A = this chain, B = another copy of it.
């Protein structure tokens, strides 16, 4: 992959921590051991460790090898918003297949979510999202027209739409995610290759500008064996939120 080495080192260490190969309290390998393991010089190893420290995953240091402090850093806003970014942070390969992109009149649900009059034009996008080539999520996103029109000539299979929009100055600043469960409808079932009615983990997301203007509304349905949400909280610390790989019992 084209990712810088320090990002790949950080992703691999995150994976080891998340997989409990490096449990809480465990010392990380020393810098020289990490250099050897990754065939890397000191600079990218140190940059990777700094990233994990910033995320609260590791502590200690100052000469001694750093120690695992938390198995769960809170994910940054962009990582929770963008499936592509999330997959890349995990060191996996995101993918997408655009099933439909349409300019149409807002449905009652989208109209309410986006605070536009019913029947107003919106851009609707139906995509199948993949993780390492495997279908894991059906994404139904509706954009207000002034934003959606930016996507009209865009190849939605090319990568992160959120990154594309952000680069065009769209202010994706705040999001509300409502998480529940829903049975696969015929479209979900077909795209995810599951029997209709299979329980899916649903995330409905409203994204607005910093000023609260609606930008997008999305109904994302995940295979629960592939993706779950994890919340770490305590009496003292702020909650940490993660979209995580599925944990099937």
Contacts and interface: CB of A to CB of B under 8 A. Distances in A.
A178 B212 contact: no
How many copies make up the complex?
Answer: 2
In which size bucket is the chain A interface? 35 or more
A15 interface: no
Contacts of A236: 173
Given A175-B232, A224-B181, A197 B200 contact: no
B177 A231 contact: yes
Interface string A218-237: 01000010011111111110
A180 B228 contact: yes
Contact of A201 (B24, B180, B246, B249): B180
Nearest to A176: B232
Given A178-B244, A241-B241, A247-B178, A173 B234 contact: yes
- Which of A176, A199, A227, A241 has the most chain B CB atoms closer than 10 A to its own CB? A199
Contacts of A224: 180-182
Interface in A46-90: 72, 74, 77, 80
Contacts of A233: 77, 80, 174-175, 177, 241
A238 interface: yes
A175 B229 contact: no
B231 A179 contact: yes
A44 interface: no
A239 interface: yes
A209 to B, nearest CB: 10
Contacts of A178: 228-230, 244, 247
B231 A241 contact: yes
A3 interface: no
A155 interface: no
Nearest to A238: B238
A21 interface: no
A177 to B, nearest CB: 4
Contacts of A210: 234-235
Nearest to A203: B231
Interface of A: 24, 72, 74, 77, 80, 109, 173-183, 197-202, 204, 210, 212, 219, 224, 227-236, 238-239, 241, 244, 246-247, 249
5 contacts: A80-B231, A174-B232, A181-B200, A238-B238, A241-B241
